Amino acid sequence: MGMPVIPPDRPIRRIPNDRFPMNPYGWQEYCVCFATLLFTGLHVLGWNFSFPTALERMLWRVSSLLLFCVTATFWVLETMASWKRLGRWKWIYLRLTDRKRLAEYEKARSERLNQQEAREPTQLPLPWEFWTILPIAILYGVARLYLIVEAFLELRALDGTAFVNVEWSDFLPHI
């Protein structure tokens, strides 16, 4: 019948979609970085919102700044680790110090990248990458959890204007 079936050999080769593409100069990484910083920056906009207590306002400010700074730190560390994996640091070093070896290095690197079968199917994170990003991930989780909980806690002390009935006919054109 010619219908495609699952390959019989195990483990099944999959498309490696858990990392950025091998191009360290791609615009995708910068777009994702900008989007995550924009998302975490939106919480900083609540800097002067009214909160039920001064402690909650201070915790919101600390958590939102922590969220933004942790995200920026993550992107710096992830870029450093990615450059290490892809040999970008060596490329920069050779470009600054030894242009002759740079051409050889680029040729060897392009040959290595063009050989699909020679690549490792999985690559574990570098140990320093794991141990630096773990506390960052924990800080991010704690700050994010507080912001979510605080958003619901603020409902207990809403301003009186939250209960004003909106006359939608004042805002929408009608006959």
Question: And the tokens for 115?
Answer: 């050989």
pLDDT tens digits for the chain (175 residues)? 566 666 666 666 666 555 555 555 567 778 888 999 999 999 999 999 989 999 999 999 999 999 999 999 988 888 887 777 777 788 888 888 888 888 888 888 777 766 655 445 555 666 877 888 889 999 999 999 999 999 999 999 888 888 899 888 888 887 6
